Amino acid sequence: MTYSKDIKQGLMLIIFATMASNVYGANCESVSTPFGTWNNNATWSCGTEPSGLNCLDTIFIDEHVYITAHVTLTSCAAFVMVINDTLRFQSGKKMYLPAGSEVILSATGTLYPEGGGGSSNIIQIGADVVWTTAAGTYTGPLVLDIELTDFYGYSLTRGIELKWITASETDNDYFTLERSMDGIKFKPIELIDGAGTSLETNYYTFLDNSPRIGINYYRLKQTDFNGLFTYSNTIAISYYTGGEKNNLWPNPTTDFFTISCQFNGDISIFDSSLRQICSIEHYSQGDKISISDLPSGVYFVTYSYNYVLKIDKLIVN
């Protein structure tokens, strides 16, 4: 899951070797009971099962818990689940967590599917499936995440160029770049190898040389070596028959620029290494944006136009 610097994919399933239960706020812990099912109030130290009516900051699986019915907590705010014992899923049962939540599997923790194959059991955080029956039993500690810091593209004469950056990767097998004309039904157009496990910044580029005229929607599907996958959020880019359409004027420039289309909103400027230089809030059409203090070079200006993320190249002389 515009895709800006402050919106990051990753940390969907984070694994720590140890975790102290007293470092979080409002929490509830599983306790030893003859039943030990998720929806049995006696399973929990707080006396009530964690649910959309009983949202918590942290849930600790300190004793074996058996999930015999779907668990849906998406109405809660993001929270942390720490698995120190076994979280077992009956065949066909699923867990849905709010976006931004973290599932932490400690060195003594286990995720256990009962069977049914494929996606009979899943843990889903927001729109991202982070564990399925197909992945099998997980015993911590493990790390399954990438830190996607940017995903964007722009229209050129020869097509639409897509770029994305990861600050780190863990067990990243490959990316699948997907395209859609309606933002709903996506089809894969290219597979791109990932960096495996890397703590370095990685840069990726792909030229879509057969986009449709009009708005093209793109997203990334990232797949780990064990088959688990997550999706980025979706970006939308307009493609024009006349080639690259740039709304910045004058361009090249030395002192200032304006946005020539009918646009009001926020703007961000990035250098050629995709480091954000500055942002301008509440821009109004016709305003002059001073760039006299920028060194000569190539920059990228991002803004949303007609509900589409627009990225234009700016040349400063």
Edge-to-edge, what's the strand order for the sheet holding 110-113? Answer: 65-67, 86-89, 110-113, 138-139
Please name the fold of domain 248-316: Immunoglobulin-like (2.60.40)
Measured distance CA(308)–CA(119) in Å, rounded: 33
**What is the model's pLDDT at position 240?**
63
Measured distance CA(239)–CA(258) in Å, rounded: 21
**What is the model's pLDDT at position 16?**
37
List, for the chain, all residue ranges whose pLDDT scores fall below the cut of 50: 1-25, 144, 243
Q: Give the pLDDT confidence of 245-255 residue by residue, as tens digits.
A: 677 878 788 88
| 248-316 and 146-239 share a CATH fold | yes
Structure tokens that stand for 16 in this block = 């720590």
Measured distance CA(188)–CA(220) in Å, rounded: 9
> Do residues 74 and 98 touch, judged by C-beta distance below 8 A?
yes
DSSP code at position 5: T
**What is the model's pLDDT at position 19?**
40
> Where do the structural domains in the chain lie, given as residue ranges?
17-139, 146-239, 248-316
Measured distance CA(68)–CA(89) in Å, rounded: 7
Q: 146-239 maps to which CATH number? A: 2.60.40.10
C-alpha dihedral, 64 to 66 to 67 to 68, nearest 10°: -170
> Do residues 225 and 195 touch, judged by C-beta distance below 8 A?
no
Q: Tell me the three state secondary structure of residue 282.
A: strand
**What is the model's pLDDT at position 213?**
74
